[in-house]
């Protein structure tokens, strides 16, 4: 089992309401943030990016500790991308003006759009890329003059709190960025349904996204949803073989497969006598077996543990169900020996063959280090297989 690393607040609906009121006050007509020019807000985002950059090693360590991902991955990807998000929107905003259209006819006129802040933006962010996706939502909301109340995942709360503290160093006025911790069905629901939250941005599972959309629709809130998927990688027999194997191993098992963009079903062209399919699967399995599963703080680690015991249980259940459906585990499918030695929620990179394209595992997002492989003859079949449901 894992061990407790710390404690985090479990915010109530009343806590959320208090944060929303502070955020609402921070964007009132006479507030410092509302009076700032666009250029000044862009500069504030750049200062915040600079602050994160100076703290990059500490943020990477916190992200690795919360999520279980390798420190090397957090340092090379998560935190640099978080910094880049802030700088990207600071650079984009001055050029994101409204469109102008000339309407001709008896009553010739000009129609134009003007971009204005909506007020308080609610953010609900996931555990797989905590600061990366937090900043992806935060930056455009702030640069357009809004305030934010954010609820990060209760599994990975640390970097959101650290960023909120850093806003002071970036001279972002108090109340503009607010973080409430807690469970989705309490704090998250209170945030999404609060009448003073004008826009909601949510990243997470599809079922939860449907519930968020239903709550937001009752008040006609502006809404952005980034939900789950079941991504297919299609491999033809004329590919650059070695590069393709390496690329798909990375796209399948990066961050222990806990990214919505990960390849989770691999469609491979058969070739004459299934020769290409067999060659590719053999090379892919060998490469997956070569990945080093280990401590997140070890420089040689390719894959750390998954995020929680509950998520590990879900992954194990999915593999067992696939085997019951006739799937053949070509590698992995179990916890590595080091799991009992180190503790933590480790699971080996897993490749499963022999399932139909419409089987449960081939159609359901696992969000872990588990992929299925499926042969196909031609382009028509390659398109049909992933769209069979």
Q: Establish whether 365 is a catalytic residue.
A: no
**Do the Cβ atoms of 34 and 152 come closer than 8 Å?**
no
Q: Establish whether 260 is a catalytic residue.
A: yes
Helix/strand/coil for 267: strand
In degrees and rounded to multiples of 5, residue 89 shows phi and psi of -70, -30
Closest CA to 26 of 157, 153, 141, 184: 141
Instruction: Label residue 103 exposed, middle or buried (CB < 10 Å: 0-12, 13-18, 19+).
Output: exposed
**Do the Cβ atoms of 187 and 11 come closer than 8 Å?**
yes
Cα 296 → chain centroid:
19
**In whole angstroms, what is the distance from residue 28 CA to residue 20 CA?**
12
Cα separations (Å) of 368 from 110, 182, 347? 52, 24, 9
Contacts of 199 (CB under 8 A, 6+ apart): 118, 119, 120, 121, 122, 141, 146, 221, 222, 223, 224
Contacts of 37 (CB under 8 A, 6+ apart): none
**In whole angstroms, what is the distance from residue 26 CA to residue 176 CA?**
6
Which listed residue (226, 239, 356, 381) is catalytic? Answer: 226
Contacts of 388 (CB under 8 A, 6+ apart): 357, 358, 363
Q: Is 33 left (phi over 0), alpha (psi -120 to 50) or beta?
A: alpha
Which listed residue (42, 63, 154, 260) is catalytic? Answer: 260
Instruction: Label residue 340 exposed, middle or buried (CB < 10 Å: 0-12, 13-18, 19+).
Output: exposed
Tokens, residue 238: 């004329």
**In whole angstroms, what is the distance from residue 127 CA to residue 69 CA?**
11
| Cα within 13 Å of Cα(79), Cβ side | 26
**In whole angstroms, what is the distance from residue 274 CA to residue 280 CA?**
10
Active site residues: 226, 260
């Amino acid at each position: 089992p894992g061990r407790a690393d710390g404690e985090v607040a479990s915010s109530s609906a009343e806590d959320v309401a208090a944060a929303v009121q502070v955020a609402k006050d921070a964007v009132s007509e006479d507030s410092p943030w509302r009076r700032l020019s666009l250029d000044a807000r862009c500069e504030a985002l750049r200062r915040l990016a600079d602050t994160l950059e100076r703290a990059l090693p500490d943020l990477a360590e916190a992200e690795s500790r919360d999520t279980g991902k390798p420190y090397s991955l957090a340092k090379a990807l998560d935190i640099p991308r978080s910094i880049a998000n802030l700088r990207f929107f600071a650079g984009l905003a001055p050029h994101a003006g409204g469109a102008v259209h000339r309407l001709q006819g008896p009553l010739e006129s000009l129609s134009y759009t003007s971009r204005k802040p909506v007020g308080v933006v609610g953010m609900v962010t996931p555990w797989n890329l905590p600061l990366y996706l937090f900043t992806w939502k935060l930056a455009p909301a702030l640069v357009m003059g809004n305030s934010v109340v954010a609820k990060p995942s209760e599994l990975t709360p640390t970097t959101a709190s650290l960023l909120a503290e850093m806003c002071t160093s970036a001279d972002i006025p108090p109340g503009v960025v607010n973080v409430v911790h807690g469970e989705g069905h309490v704090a998250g629901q209170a945030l999404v349904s609060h009448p003073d939250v004008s826009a909601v941005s949510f990243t997470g599972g599809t079922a939860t996204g449907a519930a968020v959309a239903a709550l937001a629709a009752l008040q006609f809130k502006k809404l952005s949803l980034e939900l789950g998927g079941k991504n297919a990688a299609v491999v033809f027999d004329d590919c650059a073989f070695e590069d393709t194997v390496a690329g798909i191993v990375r796209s399948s098992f990066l961050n222990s497969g806990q990214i919505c963009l990960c390849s989770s079903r691999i469609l491979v062209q058969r070739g004459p006598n299934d020769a290409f399919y067999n060659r590719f699967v053999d090379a892919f399995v060998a490469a997956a077996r070569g990945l080093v599963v280990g401590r997140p703080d070890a420089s040689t680690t390719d894959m750390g543990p998954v995020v929680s015991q509950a998520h590990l249980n879900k992954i194990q259940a999915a593999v067992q169900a696939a085997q019951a459906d006739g799937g053949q585990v070509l590698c992995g499918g179990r916890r590595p020996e080091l799991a009992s030695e180190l503790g933590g929620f480790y699971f080996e990179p897993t490749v499963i063959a022999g399932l139909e394209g419409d089987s449960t595992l081939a159609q359901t997002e696992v969000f872990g280090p588990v992929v299925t492989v499926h042969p196909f003859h031609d382009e028509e079949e390659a398109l049909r297989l992933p769209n069979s449901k």
